[in-house]
Amino acid sequence: MVNEMIVTVWVALLWLVIGIGLSMLLVKVYDIIVFRKFDLQEAIEGRNSAVAIFFSLMLLGIGLVVAATIMSPGTGSLVHDIAATIGWSIGISLVATLLFFAFDILLVPKIKLQEAISNGNIAAGILSGVVYVAVSVVAMAVIMA
């Protein structure tokens, strides 16, 4: 009984570290590779609320996907479940990023969202971040089904 509780606590801590670490890593990767128009560190130092809002909502969206994969029924193999969590998280993040760029081109063609966010346009930051969260909520439903 005590051994089961200890194992359960360690597995829960492992998932906590994986979930938070993966979420933060993906946000940093997107900061460096995809969203080159602005740097998160510089934006925060410069009090750019639009960038802070956008990246906060992106982190929330990625966190929702990670949480859904952790909560979904496991396969019984911790390694397989961790791989599935990483795969879903990266995959959904890529889809959300593609939708961000599609949204930029198709729905608001006169506004370049990355540039607008970089220039402190809070509306652009909120709109873009909500796209990430919306995609993530739908992905959660798919993962949990």
Which pLDDT does position 125 carry in this prediction? 92
Which pLDDT does position 139 carry in this prediction? 83
Which pLDDT does position 80 carry in this prediction? 87
CA separation for the pair 83, 32 (Å, rounded): 23
How many structural domains are present in the chain?
A: 1
Please give the residue range of the domain that contains residue 54.
Answer: 2-144
Which pLDDT does position 81 carry in this prediction? 85
For the chain, the residue count is 145
Place of tokens 């220039």: 119
Mean pLDDT of successive 10-residue segments in the chain (145 residues)?
Answer: 83 87 83 76 90 90 84 80 84 79 82 88 92 86 81
54: which DSSP letter? H
Closest CA to 68 of 122, 15, 144: 144
Distances in Å between the Cα of 139 and the Cα atoms of 61, 66, 131 are 10, 10, 12
Amino acid at 67: A
Which pLDDT does position 126 carry in this prediction? 94
